[in-house]
Amino acid sequence: MTANLPLSGLRVLELAGLAPGPFCGLLLADWGADVLRIDRPSPKPTPTNDLLTSHKASIALDLKDGRCIAVLLSLVRKADVLIDPFRPGVLEKLGLDPTTVLLKRNPGLTVVRLTGFRRDGKYSAMAGHDINYLAASGVLSMLGPRDSPPSPPANILADFAGGGHVAFTGVLLALIQRQNGKGNGKGQIVHANMVDGVSYLGTFPRLLTKEPVIWSGERGTNTLDGGAPYYACYECKDRGKYMSVGALEPQFYVQLIQGLGFTPEEVVPGALDRQDRRAWPYMREVFTARFKTKTRKEWEHVFDGTDACAVPVLEHREMEDAQYDLRPMVGLSESPARVVERPWKGQPLRPGEGGEAALKDWMGWSKGRDYHVSANGAFQVVEEEKSRL
């Protein structure tokens, strides 16, 4: 099956980093790429904190050691992609400038440089995390309830959607350019950052802020940001269990009202008019009360098979208990991705795990002849062999 994967034969060097870089590598690996993670050496090679390691191998390199740099540069010659997760200037300080060093070694290489902030903005040299990138993108200001501080959706939006996934898209575009004739087989540098990635993902809601109906009000008062009572979540009779409601269209809203069991006498003219924002507070009040009259399971029975757009809010623990089938994000009929290897519990790599086999496959190298592993776990070229690298 491996030979039929879309990215089969692609070789990727993933410099170890936090969530977005490994996620980009995971996406490439899931679609068939051979991903070799470059970890930092440690006297006691304990597993990394990274759980996004499916279908990857690892070697440990001390990038301040010339013998380790020699290993990396040899691998660069054989690689198609290198993932750089560092702050601006780090690769350059290591003597690994993408333009003057890496692309000189391998003109067909795609170097994806993934940062949090823009490389040329006032925050470029600063540390940050998902919440900070969301803040700088303008998207965080749109998230959360009214009269409360903005609320980030964990670290999913910037780290993974605007970061790792956007970088993955950039890699695919660069590879297409390389092989379609217009690129003449040449690689290029892909610049990705989470601020621009998230800002682009927010194109639709940003444009809607100029429209008078859907998203022009304060945060938490609009149709799609929790303001509308027919686009919200409601607690059920069993405490802590919720139903999601997204009955935006009139015909779906009618089915929601019917499913909730409102009688003609209860539907006071105008009181449940979805287009009248003055009715929203009353609607939310009666929806809240009505959902608490049944358990979530009972509401599932009511709404399953209808177009009321009412679906239970599932929790990961119950999905795992039910052996929910987690799948790749998209299905291709002729070249599907690898199955999700560890759907519920990740397995960190130990630095160097699978490294000997990877160096044998990539380079034809053998331990002791072409390289050795130092006391701190770093893979180093054998001194007398340096001249032929």
Q: Does the fold of domain 231-320 match that of domain 11-202+328-381?
A: no
CATH class of 11-202+328-381: alpha beta
Q: Is 34 one of the annotated active-site residues of the chain?
A: no
Starting from the edge strand earliest in sequence, which strands make up the sheet with 188-193, in order?
56-60, 34-39, 11-15, 81-84, 110-115, 188-193
Beta-strand runs (E) in 216-256: 231-235, 242-246
- Asked if residue 387 has pLDDT above 50, the reply is no
**Contact, 377 vs 350, CB < 8 A?**
no
- Asked if residue 284 has pLDDT above 90, the reply is yes
Per-residue b or e along 256-284, where b marks 16 or more CB atoms closer than 10 Å to that residue's CB: bbebbebeeeeeeeeebebeebebbeebb
* Cα angle for residues 340, 39, 76 (degrees, 5° grid): 90
Looking at residue 368, its pLDDT comes to: 92
Check 62, 84, 130, 159 and give the catalytic one: 159
Model pLDDT for residues 166-215, shown as the tens digit of each residue: 999 999 999 999 988 776 889 999 999 999 999 999 999 999 988 877 88
* 231-320 homologous superfamily: formyl-coa transferase, domain 3 (3.30.1540.10)
Domain ranges of the chain: 11-202+328-381, 231-320
Beta-strand runs (E) in 16-84: 34-39, 56-60, 81-84
Looking at residue 348, its pLDDT comes to: 87
* Least confident piece of the model among 132-136, 278-282, 342-346, 379-383: 379-383
pTM of the model: 0.92
Q: Which is more confident, 24 or 278? A: 24
The interaxial angle of helices 20-30 and 166-179, nearest 10 deg, is 50
Could you tell me the two tokens for 109?
């290489």
Residue 366 CA to residue 313 CA, distance in Å, equals 52
Model pLDDT for residues 246-265, shown as the tens digit of each residue: 999 999 999 999 999 987 66
Report which of 236, 240, 243, 372 is spatially closest to residue 313, judged by C-alpha positions.
Answer: 243
